[in-house]
Structure 1
Amino acid sequence: MSSSNAPRRKPFTGWHMTAILVSGFGVVFAVNFLMASLASSTFGGIVVENSYVASQHFNRWLDEAEKEEDLGWKVAVSRRDDGRIAASLDGVPGYPTVMAEARHPLGRKPDTLLKFQEDATGAYVSDQPLPEGRWILRFDVEAGGHTWRGEDQVEGVEVMGQPVP
């Protein structure tokens, strides 16, 4: 068999290399832009207003957190059927003042300030119902001249077997 009947291969040229490089970098840029847009659309906002000022208070915040932990106070939360939040306090003396800021973890719903009053069962119940969904509650409990801060989560209800975000 003669080699003259075999099909001729086209030579690899600079245009081929250019097409490979442009396609490869195009895929990389497309993925980067997609990931950046997804990340920026799910980030709720600022963590701190001014990171330098926050860094100046960091050691003080650590000291306060250690003092709060030494108090031994604990808060457990649950959602009642009427949408209000019930908080049971453990180790808190006297008649505390209980407040919480409810934050949606993805920032899709506005923050809500909750004030708690003791009910007949001894639990502290929020003054208003909290919309359904997942919330992070940042508590401020004041009693006996001490202040305790802590966080807890409240999960939403399920709709057709799926949790409400």
Structure 2
Amino acid sequence: MRAAPRARRPFTGWHMTIILVAFFVVVMSVNIFMAVSAVSTFGGTVVDNSYVASQKFNGWLDAARRQQKMGWRRAIALDDARHVRVTLTDQADQPVSAGIITGRAIHPLGRAPEVKLSFQGMGHGVYRARQPLPAGRWQVRVTLAGHGDTQHIQKEVD
């Protein structure tokens, strides 16, 4: 003998309310997650004026090609005391003297004031900033002037 089929519960307004609330909770959760991810990972403005940047683009490409021809290997890092270290070597891993090195550290979200960096030679192609960086993530931009050319290095450090 077969059991009698169970009666179906009717679809009521409460069911629709639960479905709508669940849907909007999911949508709002995803939106909040995406907004928090975007704010925490985006470093800020790439360029202030894209038209002006486009006019300078070919000059930037030429400067990059000149830098590449020199064959310098450049590295930026933080030491344990949070001083910026710049290491310069040539293609044969021999130290390079850079002439004048200047730099600045910019907080990616503009929450801290810009820090001007001055460097001192430590020998063997290593240059160390005289002042340490405050804690946090920083965009370090270093300018090397010497050997008849100017080079720019940029790296984000944390």
**Matches of 1:81 and 1:23, distance apart in 2:** 49
Q: Call closer, same or farther: CA 1:16–1:73 in 2, change over 3 Å.
A: same
- Does the 8 Å contact 1:42/1:106 carry over to 2? no
Classify the secondary structure of the residue corresponding to 2:28: helix
Do structure 1's residue 100 and structure 2's residue 103 form an aligned pair? yes
Q: Call closer, same or farther: CA 1:49–1:120 in 2, change over 3 Å.
A: closer
- Does the 8 Å contact 2:79/2:85 carry over to 1? yes
- Does the 8 Å contact 1:116/1:127 carry over to 2? yes
- Does the 8 Å contact 2:97/2:125 carry over to 1? no
Q: Percent identity?
A: 45
- Structural mapping, 1:79-90, within 5 Å: 79-80=78-79, 83-90=82-89
> Residue deviations 1:116-152, cap 9 Å, x none?
1224666423222233555443221010220111235
Residue 105 of structure 1 and its aligned partner are, at CA, apart by: 5.7
Classify the secondary structure of the residue corresponding to 2:104: strand
Normalised to the residue count of structure 2, the TM-score between the two structures is 0.69
- Gap regions ≥5 residues in structure 1: 155-164
- Gap regions ≥5 residues in structure 2: none
**Matches of 1:138 and 1:22, distance apart in 2:** 49
> Residue deviations 1:72-115, cap 9 Å, x none?
22334455565433433324866600112234566665432211
Q: Call closer, same or farther: CA 1:56–1:39 in 2, change over 3 Å.
A: same
Normalised to the residue count of structure 1, the TM-score between the two structures is 0.66
